[in-house]
Each structure stands twice: as C-alpha cells, then as structure tokens.
Structure 1
C-alpha cells in the first residue's frame, strides 16, 4: 500500500487512530458497565421491593401501597392495580419499559400462575446516565484532539533530523570535494545510518564528477591542437585557386565543422572550470550585450542562407550573467535554428528575465522533444550537419546555473526555445 501523505502527517494519523481506538474501547467499556450495573442493581432493588409486597399479601396485610415513584400491577388486580394489556407479555425478570414519553424499570415475577409487576420511574436515572455519557463523549473527543496536538509535536521532533539531513543532502555544496561528512552530526540510530549511507553515495558521486571534470578539461585541451591544424589546413586549401567547386564545398563544410567543434570544446572547458569555481569566470555582462554580439556574429550566415533574422531587444534586463556560459546557451540555440531552418526566418527576442529563440524550420514532434536534450540526439537526420551535442550542452549549462529552458512548437512550423535566467 502506497501512502500519499507526508511522514509527519502519517505519524499524526497513527497517533490519532491509536488514541481513538483506546479511548473508544474505554468509552464503550464504561457504557456497557453502566448498563450492566443498572440491570444488576435495579433488578435486585426492584426484586426486593416486589418480594416485600408479596410477603404482605401472604400475611393478610396487603395495603396496595408501593414506594413513591413506583407502579404495582398484578393479574386480577382491580382499578389502578390491573395488569395493562401492553405489559402482559413481559417474561419474568428485569426489563426497561417505555410508555409514551416516560420510561420505567420493571421487574416481573410469576407466583402460582399469577403475574406480579413492579415499575419504577427512571427519569432521574436517565438524566444522570445522559450526563455520564456526555462526560464520556467529551472525554473521548478531548482525548482525540489532544492526541492530534501531541502527535504533531512528536512528529516535528521525530522527523526534524530527517528534514535537516534532506536539506544537507540537497545543498549544492555537498558535491564539492571538501564537503564535510554528514554522519558525525547525528546519533548512532536509523537516521545516523541513513546519513552514513548518504556519505558513501555522495563520496562516489563526488569522485565520478571529479573524474568527469578532469576528463572534460583534459580532452578539451588535447583537442585544441588537432582542431587548429584542421582549421589551418582548410584555410590553405580554400586559398588554392585550382580547387573545383565540389572540392571547395567539401572543404568549407569541414572548416565549418571545425569551427563548431572548437567552440564546443571551448564551452566544455569553460563549463568544467566553472564547476571547479574558477575565479576568472566571475566577470559578468548583461543579457543585451551577449545578444548584440551573437546577432552581429550570426546575421551574415543566416542571411546568406536566404533566411530573415529578427532581433527584438525588448525590455532591458539589468541582471548580470556569466558571459561564456550565457553566450554558449544563446549561441547553440541560434546555431541549432540555423541548422534546421531552410526557409522563413529566425527570431531572437529578449525578455525581462531571459530570451526566446524561434524558427520556421522542420520542428520537433512532441514525443521527441524531451529526448532532444540528450547527448548525440539530433532532430531530422536529413537536415543540418550538427553533432547532436548543442541542446545537451544547453541543458547542462542551464541546470548548472539554475536557469530553465523550455522547448515548444512554433506556428505554423518550427521550434520555440524559451530560456529563463532567474
């Protein structure tokens, strides 16, 4: 069975249910005890009174005078002592009799085939009984209410270490290499065992992240030299006047791929340094500054492809951001739009908390949009010549910086990327 409630609420519910069960059992026990005592005591009292009346009859001293508040009937009795028709079927013993709005305790005895019945008004007893039951009910409700309050206080006390541990585990500093251990802050109980398990798991995660950062940094450094060689070779080949059109097109494609790879390597290197807390990345710029630079950079490639570039500066955003990472996010989205748009336009609009890039390209089906942010996944294999790492890099940077990126469909076709920077 899966519980949807929080742990503290489950503790309160368990406390209330346990108290309700125990208090309810006590309340029912009191009610049943009252009824049992009522039957035993009143049966003995009325039986004794009825026996005294019958002894008077046997001693020829019959005075037909019961105790105050009592009614006496018997078979063959006259006038007010005549046995009423509605009581003739009562068996010998103790009974509760209701006649109209009045209620009585009755005791019946059969002697020599004759029925004798003594009734006693139980109005006072009923009133005291109602008071007693009201007290029992109030006590039950107070017990349940008190259990809810105590359960809430106990739940806060019990889960406080768990809540504190969850905050510590979620803190971003836990992924740092020098993050302190969690277990020493807790007792050697179940929470302490959980803290030690988190220490072990976070240690493995820190080790994996460190290896990943080192690998990314090393690979980025090592790829720079061969990429520069390829780029230089492409420039020399393009300066050769004897190169035919087909070969020139292929060399230009190689040069463009080298430029993209060099920018991608540079971005990964900067991201790795940012995760290590490199102080050189603390310089910040405005959103409009980065947008102006990228629009100037991409206007010629976009327009040379026969596309229209719309740039809307919108309301100025005064917050400052990491220039390299912001440029990587916006640049990769512009490059993605350029790759997958063959006709129409590409637009960049600045918002007061981010920006929107929209194109009229091939678009991405809704069931494939989430996968587009995975590494080496491309939309529309017949379009563009990207590596399938751009959107993955965008997602990674946004997660690292606390930004949000959203992909939706544009009208009538294409993609719309909205990035919120705060």
Structure 2
C-alpha cells in the first residue's frame, strides 16, 4: 500500500511550491533586468557625453568644452537676458523642458532653477537617455512576463497531469469496465487517499447494484414462472369448458369474459417482464405487429365495459400501420388508453383511428384540462371522475413502454366538443 497523501495536500503543496518558485524567478529576473538596464544606461550616457566632449575639442580647440548630460549657468538680473527667453520667467524649482538641440532634434530636459539675492542659477539635466532606458526596461519586463507566462502554462500542465493522474486512471478503468461488461475491484489499484476512497465507494456501490440487479433478475424469473402457470391453467380450462355441448349462452359468455381477462393478464405480465428486462438491456425487436389488428382485439376485449351505457366503439383503419415491437406491448398500451376512454365516457362514441404512423383514441367524455394532460402519465395520478378505482399506474406504464420503443404518447382535450384525445405516434 502506498503512503497516504491527501489529494488536497498534494494540490496545495504543488501550487505553493509553484508560486514560491515563480516568485523567486521573477524577483531574480527583475533584479537582473534592472541592474542590466541601469548599467547599460549609465555606461551609454557617460560614454556618449565624453565622446561628444572630445569631438568638440577636436573640432574647436579654441573653445571651452562642456557636458551635454549636465550643464549649469549662473546669471544675475543684468545678464539674465543671455539665457533662452522661455527660461527667464521660470520660478525656483525643477521644470520639464522639451526643446530642440543644435541639430534640431527634440530633447527632454529637467531644468532646476534657483533665484536668490539677484542671482539666478540654472542646472539642466538631459533625461532623454533615461527615457530610452525606461523603454528598454518596459520591453524587457514584457518579455520576462511573456516568458514566465509560458513557463507557468507548461508547469501548470505538467502539475495538472501529475496531480490528477489518479483521477484520470480511475475514469479510464471505469470506461474499460463498461466496454468489458463486467466490474472488477478498483480500490486495490489506488493509494489510500481521496481517489482511493472514491474507488472504494464505487466498489461498494457496484456490489450493491450487482446484488440488486441479481435480485431483480431472480424476481422476474420467479414471477414469470409463478404467474404464467396458473394463467395457462385458466386459459386451457376455459377452452375445454367452452367445448361442452350443454353450456347455456349466459355461461358461454361468462367463459369468454374469463378467457379475455386471462389473455389480458398474460399480455400484461409479458409486457411488464419485457419492460423490466429491456430497461436493463434494451428493447426487444424483430417482431412486426399490425396496429389495426391489435386495436380490434383490444376493442373486442373491452366491450363488456360498454354494457349498460349508450356508448359505441368504432375502429377506423385509414391505412395500414406496423410497428417493430411485440404484440403484447402494443396491446397493453392500447388496453389502457381504450379502457380509460370507455370508463370515463358515459355516452357517445369512443373512436380508435389508425393511420399516418399513429393511433388515436377519441372519446366524448368529460375531457381533461390542458394543464393536467402531462400529469396523467405520472405514477399515482388518476383523472377526475375516476372515483376509487385504479391506482393511477396504467398511463405511467404506457409512458414507460412508449419511451422504451421510441414512441410518443400524449393526451389532449378535444376542441370541437367535450372529450379527450389520446395519441401514440410510432417512431
């Protein structure tokens, strides 16, 4: 087991060292640049000043030489007129002067003036060289900032890869598990730090999830066996009883109702088991189902609900529509939609329309509010007038089945009269 080092500690330590090192480098570089520029400035200014003095002596040996870098004049009130006109009215202090030299080049000077007891002193210092030095310093600092920025970027990238490498490794192992289809312990591959704690938590979560999926699989298998067997017995017994020659019409009709209810229960169980398996592994396809045929079967199975009501059920198949899904899935969806329409419609018509890649169930019941249309597909929500019947799960199951196969189910009120329209659009 590797030594425990907190990820937070590594991040803080890394950036603290990085900041300290960067500050030291910047301080050293600033001192070096300042010393270098200052030295070059002084050397250049002195050399230029002595060069011009020597050149002046050679050109005019009879004239007294002077310094261009630093010059001084001392005048009285009577001889002040010999100084430049712009200087004569200057008060005591240091003034910024910009004027052209003998060669017509603009130069920047600092002019110190002192007036006392009729004596006026002028000391002029050429700061043009200093301004050149400042520009060189700014350029150098800009280059240093750019260099340090690139260096910081490079070090930051290196530190981020170094510090966050365990997190990237954890993510990569999770991606590998998804490709392989099975999970292996993660914690053993990481140090006892935050990433190791995360890996350990993921291992525990994977173990709980695996156990839950296994229990769900076992439950589905048990339900499939325990429920299908009695339903098969009911269906076979009903079929045998219907073959009896001494049955009355009333008993025969009741046996048919038992047979339809048994078939509906079988289809519902198959759809729910398929839904449970498909939500884990994807929908089952390959079986083509004719929508109009299933709709006709559902309508016939729901006719007993119409007894005692002035209600008609119509099927309008405008064009053939087929879906790539088991018949049991479509039957469960249509049974809920058509059954709800019959239950809530006291009189009038329930019309099932098939065509244009969809099926619509149109009724003349009390209708629904537009704001309640989406809520009806939530678990436990029942429509107004449902009374105490139903648990509000039918439309929720329809929504899950439709989402599984890429269909769109919706409910909306009619605009021409009372009633509602339930629609399934097949994708």
For this structure pair, what is the TM-score category when the shorter chain's length is used for normalisation?
Answer: 0.5 to 0.7
Q: Which residue of 1 aligns with 2:360?
A: 358
Paired position in structure 1 for 2:138 = 133
Return the offset for 1:308: 3.9
Partner of 2:423: 416
Is the CA contact 2:373–2:410 (under 8 Å) kept in the aligned structure 1?
no
Alignment map for 1:69-80 (pairs within 5 Å): 69-74=69-74, 76=76, 78=80, 79-80=82-83
State the SS of the aligned residue for 2:123. strand
**How far apart, in 2, do the equivalents of 1:154 and 1:371 lie?**
54
Partner of 2:210: 206
1:144 corresponds to which residue? 149
Q: How many residues are treated as equivalent by the alignment?
A: 356
Pairwise CA distance, 1:335:
1.8
Which residue in 2 is equivalent to 1:215?
219
* Pairwise CA distance, 1:133: 0.8
Structure 1 residue 332, shift from structure 2 partner: 2.7
Query: Is the CA contact 2:91–2:113 (under 8 Å) kept in the aligned structure 1?
Result: no
The Cα shift of 1:334 comes to 1.6
2:373–2:411: 8 Å Cα contact kept in structure 1? Answer: no
Offset of residue 263 of structure 1: 2.0
Partner of 2:353: 347
Instruction: Sort the Cα spacing of 1:132 and 1:264 in 2 relative to 1 into closer, same or farther, 3 A.
Output: same
How far is the alpha carbon of 1:264 from its aligned partner? 1.7
Task: State the structure with more CA Rg.
Answer: 2
Using a 3 Å threshold, how does the CA distance of structure 1 residues 315 and 348 change in structure 2: closer, same or farther?
closer
Gaps of 5+ in 2: 1-10, 50-62, 100-105
Q: Does 1:121 align with 2:129?
A: no
Partners of 1:315 and 1:275 in 2: how far apart? 25
Q: Residue 318 of structure 2 contacts residue 355 of structure 2 at CA under 8 Å; is this kept in 1?
A: yes
Question: Taking structure 1 as reference, are residues 406 and 143 closer, same or farther at Cα in structure 2, changes over 3 Å only?
Answer: farther
Q: Say whether the 8 Å CA contact 1:309–1:345 is kept in structure 2.
A: yes
CA distance in 1, matches of 2:193, 2:407: 39
**1:221-370 mapped onto 2 (5 Å cutoff):** 221-227=225-231, 240-241=248-249, 258-271=262-275, 284-286=286-288, 289-291=289-291, 293-298=293-298, 300=300, 306-311=312-317, 323-324=325-326, 327-341=327-341, 342=345, 343=349, 345-349=351-355, 356-361=358-363, 362-363=367-368, 365-366=370-371, 369=374
What is the distance in 2 between the residues matched to 1:377 and 1:293? 30
Q: Aligned partners of 2:320, 2:97: CA distance in 1, in Å?
A: 86
In the alignment, the residues of structure 2 paired with residue 282 and residue 212 of structure 1 have an alpha-carbon distance, to the nearest angstrom, of 18
**Does 2:87 match 1:88?**
no
Change (3 A) 1:294 1:156: farther
Distance in 2 of aligned mates of 1:114 and 1:345: 119
Contact map agreement 2:290 2:321 (CA 8 A) in 1 = no
TM-score, with length taken from structure 2: 0.59
Contact map agreement 2:290 2:322 (CA 8 A) in 1: no
Superposed CA RMSD in Å reads: 5.5
Give 1:262 deviation, angstroms.
Answer: 2.8
Q: In the aligned structure 2, how far is the partner of 1:417 from the partner of 1:219?
A: 29
SS at 1:119 equivalent: strand
TM-superposed CA distance for 1:201, in Å, is 0.8
User: Equivalent residue of 2:149, what SS?
Assistant: helix
Structure 1-normalised TM-score?
0.60
Q: For residues 369 and 312 of structure 1, do their structure 2 counterparts lie closer, same or farther at Cα, with a shift above 3 Å needed?
A: same
Rounded to whole Å, the distance in 1 between the matches of 2:321 and 2:90 is 94
- Structure 1: runs of 5 or more not aligned: 1-10, 50-62
Question: How far apart are residue 410 of structure 1 and its match?
Answer: 6.6
Aligned partner of 1:181 among 185, 200, 219: 185
SS in 1 for 2:93: coil
Structure 1 match to 2:67: 67
Residues 245-286 of structure 1 show CA distances to partners (whole Å, capped at 9, x for unaligned) of: xxx89x9877765543332222233445667879xx977234
Q: What is the alpha-carbon distance in structure 1 between the residues aligned to residue 68 and residue 276 of structure 2?
A: 101
- On the 8 A contact 1:75/1:114 being kept in 2, the answer is yes
- How big is the shift at 1:293? 4.7
Q: Distance in 1 between matches of 2:72 and 2:144?
A: 40
C-alpha distance 315-233 of structure 1, shift in aligned 2 (>3 A): closer
